[in-house]
């Protein structure tokens, strides 16, 4: 996979299948923190002692690494459970070739048999079509980082039905964060029981979306 240097000095990858990059060109690391960690309240949630995260389209793990960093800075004793849904198993090899500044990223490089665990972290990646694998996931989650390719390129991941399936895994009051603010995406979120609001604008004029699970 081709590495692409982004505006904050970190690298992302270019997908030959979808003809898109995995992160914003303005800054891959910045996007993970500003769009997916800070708006979902990871820092405050971690103070409660446990945080459960559903990472839809795990990719090269920047979003999960950013969550782990923030949670452990907030509470070094926090227990962090992450379930990642991902289609492309080759990305585990790509992770080993990347060196972002996330303190916890070396833990992702130690993933074996699609899992990583230590005294704080229980991380599992479920490979396959997320529309199918979402129905195999046990338990519910406090937050969802939702990071497929664009609605134009990967429309099947932005449907009302898929948001409903994801919503079944999110606790009432839980938060889903994503970079898209497309009107039809937000309509599908509302129909699936979410309340979408504008999130931060990072790397482009349009805002991201922070959607609270209400039903």
Q: CA-to-CA distance for 72 and 164, rounded, in angstroms?
A: 31
Provide CB contacts within 8 A for 27, sequence distance 6+: 6, 7, 8, 9, 10, 202, 203
Structure tokens at 213: 């699970």
pLDDT lower than 50: segments of the chain: none
Q: Which residues of 119-129 are buried (b: 16+ CB within 10 A; e: fewer)?
A: ebbebebbbee
If one counts every other C-beta atom within 10 angstroms of the C-beta of residue 212, the result is 16
pLDDT digits 0-9 by tens, 178-206: 999 999 999 999 999 999 999 988 766 78
User: Is residue 118 assigned to a domain?
Assistant: yes
pLDDT for position 203:
66
Indicate which CATH number applies to the domain containing 66. Answer: 3.40.50.150
Find the domain containing 171 and state its range.
28-213
Q: Beta strands of the chain (E only): which ranges?
A: 2-5, 11-15, 20-21, 50-56, 79-86, 115-117, 121-127, 141-146, 170-178, 194-198, 209-213
Per the domain annotation, does 23 fall within a domain? Answer: no
How many domains in the chain? Answer: 1
């Amino acid at each position: 996979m081709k590495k692409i240097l982004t505006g904050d000095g970190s690298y992302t990858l270019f997908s030959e299948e979808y003809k898109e990059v995995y992160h914003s060109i303005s800054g891959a690391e910045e996007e993970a923190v500003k769009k997916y960690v800070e708006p979902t309240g990871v820092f405050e949630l971690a103070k409660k002692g446990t945080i459960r995260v559903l990472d839809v389209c795990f990719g090269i793990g920047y979003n999960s690494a950013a969550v782990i960093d923030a949670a452990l800075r907030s509470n070094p004793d926090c227990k962090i459970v992450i379930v990642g849904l991902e289609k492309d198993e080759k990305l585990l090899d790509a992770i080993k070739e990347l060196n972002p500044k996330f303190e916890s990223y070396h833990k992702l490089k130690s993933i074996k048999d699609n899992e990583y665990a230590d005294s704080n972290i229980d991380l599992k990646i479920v490979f396959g079509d997320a529309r199918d694998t979402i129905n195999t996931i046990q338990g519910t989650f406090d937050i969802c980082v939702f990071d497929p390719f664009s609605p134009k390129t990967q429309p099947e991941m932005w449907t009302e039905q898929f948001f409903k399936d994801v919503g079944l895994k999110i606790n009432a009051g839980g938060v889903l964060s994503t970079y898209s603010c497309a009107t039809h995406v937000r309509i599908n979120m509302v129909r699936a029981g979410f309340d979408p609001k504008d999130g931060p604008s990072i790397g482009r004029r349009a805002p991201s979306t922070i959607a609270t699970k209400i039903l």
